Every structure is written in C-alpha cells, then in structure tokens.
Structure 1
C-alpha cells in the first residue's frame, strides 16, 4: 500500500504586493512632493517680494534656479543617505557571517530560539535551523532577515535613489514655474496648477498606503498651499521692508 505524499491543491493566491522596500519609491515620491512644494513656495516668496515691481523675470529665474539647485541637492543627499544605510547594513551582515563561521552551533541555536518565539515547535525549529545552517550563505541571508530586517541580495541602490530623486524633483519643481515660461505674469496660474498636481500626487501615493485617495490628495494640497501662503507673506514683508 502506497501513500500519496503530494501536497493537496491549495486555493490560488489572488493578490500581490507592490515593492515598498526598494530604493526608488521613497526618493521618487519625496522628490516630486518636495519639488512641487519647495519651488511653489520659492516663487511665491519672490512674487510676494516683487509684487510692486516687474517681478516676472525674477520669479522665473528663482524658479529655474530652485529647480536646478534642489534637484542636484536632492540627488546628492539621497545618494549619500542610501549609500550610508546600505554600507551600515552590509557591515552588520559581514559581522553576522563571521559569527556564523566562528560559532555555527551557537548561531543555529539562536535562530532556533527565534522560531520558537514565533510559535514553532522546539524540535521542528531546531531541525529547520540545522538545515538552514547547512549552507553558510543561506544562513547569513536568513539571519540578516530575521535579526536586521534586511535582505543581503536586495539592499537599496544609492544610484537608483539618486536618479529617482533628481528626476522626480525636477519634474515637480518645473510645474510651478511652467505657467510663467508660457507667458503668465501672475502667481495664480502656477499656484492652481501646482495645487492640482499636489492633489494628484497625494492621491496616487495612497495606492500603496491605507489612506483614501481624497484624504491623501487633500492633505498634500493643503500643506502645499500653506507653505506657499506663508512664504508669500514672508516675501511681502521682506519686500516692503526694502531688504535686498
């Protein structure tokens, strides 16, 4: 008599998950939002300070300078930040590898205890840990995920983060100044277009969060309007005081 050891058919998985840990999503989202808000606030401040003068040229110059400076600054900052984070993670992974090689039994016992703490039977946990530690690279990968929360084969790329941040910031920062480049001579068109873009960006971001689209969009729009309004007032005060 033979026993059928095949795994029974299981219900098909009907969902998947977006990449929420990669090196591009956060800098791209942050770059776009920052480009929209910071450049809108910048040109609002300049427009407020030059409202009694021929300020369109100054606003365009400020907007384009803000775009270039912000994009390069964001790219450099993201590259340094992500590179430092990845290097720190790699250092801890290398430390874990040395420990696994020097003390395999102790590390195997540590992994088994982690599984027991998650509710796995101690005997089964010990066997699973033993099999994982049969291969050093596999053991290092599992320990890194369990102890550090990182995947040694999927560390964030500094270059991807930098490029994503640069491009998204540049696109976001171009939107507030674009109406001026097309002939507008007041802040209103740029303000309206930017607030609409902020609403769209906020709504899109909610596709990978638990918030509703209208909440995410409205939140970004209100924050952007507040930043622009406050900077406009500041620019007006500076302009009226005759500074610069």
Structure 2
C-alpha cells in the first residue's frame, strides 16, 4: 500500500482561523490622489460660491474658476515638490552620516545593531550573531541601519517630481468639477452645487478604503465639510458684494 503523501503546508496567513489580510494603512497612491482631488474640489467650489454670492456674471465665474484651478494646482505642485525634495535631501544626508559611521567604527555600529535587537526581545547571543551576519555586507548593513534608526529605505526615497505631478493633476481634476457646468453654459450655481455634492460624497467614500469607517460615513462627512466651506464662502461673498 502506497504511503500517504501529506498535504502541503498551508500558506502563511491562510491557516484555518487566521486571516492576515489587512488594509493598506499607508494608503499608497490612493490617499494623496483622493485628497488632492478633494482639496481642488472644495477650494474651487468655495471660490466659485463666493464669486456667485457677490452677484458676479457667469463669465466672471468662469475666469475666476479657471484662475483658481491653475493657481491652486501650481501652488500644490510647488509645495509638494519642495516638501518631498527637502525630506529626501534630509534622508540622504542622514544616510551618508550613517555610512561614514559604518566605515569609521564598524564594530561599534555592529554592537549598536545587536543592542537594538536585544531591546526588541532577542536573546543576547542570537542578537549578536544576527548583527554580525548582517554586518558582513556593508551595503546591507547601511540599509538595515537606515531602516532601523532613520525609518527610511535609502534605495526607495520618494520622487519630488512624481509627487508634484500627482498633486497638480488631481487638484486640477477636483477643481474642474464645480467649474464644469459653467464651462458648458450654466448660468446658476445649482448644477455646480449638485456636481460638487456628488464629487464630495464620492471622494469621501473612496477615502474610506484606507480607514476603518464605512463608505457612507466617509462620504457624508466630506459632503458636510465641503458644504460648510462653500456655504460660508457664499455668505462672505454676499456680504462683500453688498458693500462694494
């Protein structure tokens, strides 16, 4: 009788009663994309609402909305570029400090790594051996020290150009939404209000993918916040329009 062949070991994370499937807590590219679009949507709708409240003509609304779209998108791109570039430059500078320390005092850096693993619960002998083996390759040692001490991957720093382009594109998409009805010939705020409300709810619902909240809560919350921003700006424009 042939011996029974045991079943293959179950894949990690799929054993009975165990589920290692998690949300993407970092948000990946979804988070900056949705928040960039939401920022453009809210800011340009508020701007358009204020202009409409001051009794501006549809042509003035279009010109103002386009100016708000362009100015906001360029501002977002410039700010994001500066922020990410500065962060990357600081990370590279600190990685170079770590590289010099590894060249100057490799034994001290190896002890530092061992102490870090001991603090995390490894037995002293095991921690020392792990640190010794990891320190044999200078580049690997640098990567590990950068991850453990600085919280960065020296080979995977964010691109400021990509961040700037992402912010520009998605802000512009969001800012275009409340302006679209006027570009198509609308003469009142109502179509822009409806389109903006749908966009706000949809964006808030999408954001719920990277939170623990249900989609309807995220959508409703963003709708309320956007409506408050637009309503207050409309009232401000109304008051200013009456005084000018």
Q: Same fold (TM over 0.5)?
A: yes
Equivalent of residue 29 in structure 1, options 14, 28, 34 = 34
Provide the C-alpha distance between the structure 2 equivalents of 1:40 and 1:85, rounded to a whole number of angstroms. Answer: 31
What do residues 15-70 of structure 1 show as CA deviations (whole Å, max 9, x unaligned)?
36648275x445423321110000000000000011xx6x2111111111111111
Structure 1 alignment gaps of length 5 or more: 1-7
Structure 2 alignment gaps of length 5 or more: 1-7, 15-20
Contact 1:46 1:232 in 2 (8 A): yes
Provide the C-alpha distance between the structure 2 equivalents of 1:102 and 1:211, rounded to a whole number of angstroms. Answer: 50
In structure 2, the residue matched to 1:152 is: 154
Contact 1:27 1:162 in 2 (8 A): no
Relative to structure 1, the CA distance from residue 10 to residue 97 in structure 2 (aligned partners, 3 Å threshold; closer, same or farther) is farther
Give RMSD over aligned pairs. Answer: 1.7
Relative to structure 1, the CA distance from residue 25 to residue 106 in structure 2 (aligned partners, 3 Å threshold; closer, same or farther) is farther
Provide the C-alpha distance between the structure 1 equivalents of 2:202 and 2:22, rounded to a whole number of angstroms. Answer: 24
What do residues 197-232 of structure 1 show as CA deviations (whole Å, max 9, x unaligned)?
111111111112222211211111111101001100
Give the SS at the match of 1:150.
coil
Equivalent of residue 228 in structure 1, options 224, 227, 230 = 230
In structure 1, the residue matched to 2:9 is: 9
Contact 1:45 1:236 in 2 (8 A): yes
Give the SS at the match of 1:154.
coil
Equivalent of residue 200 in structure 1, options 187, 199, 202 = 202
In structure 1, the residue matched to 2:219 is: 217
Provide the C-alpha distance between the structure 2 equivalents of 1:16 and 1:126, rounded to a whole number of angstroms. Answer: 33
Provide the C-alpha distance between the structure 2 equivalents of 1:204 and 1:84, rounded to a whole number of angstroms. Answer: 30
Residues 1:20 and 2:26 are matched in the alignment: yes
Relative to structure 1, the CA distance from residue 94 to residue 30 in structure 2 (aligned partners, 3 Å threshold; closer, same or farther) is same
Please, what TM-score do these two structures have when normalized by structure 1?
Answer: 0.89
Relative to structure 1, the CA distance from residue 21 to residue 131 in structure 2 (aligned partners, 3 Å threshold; closer, same or farther) is farther
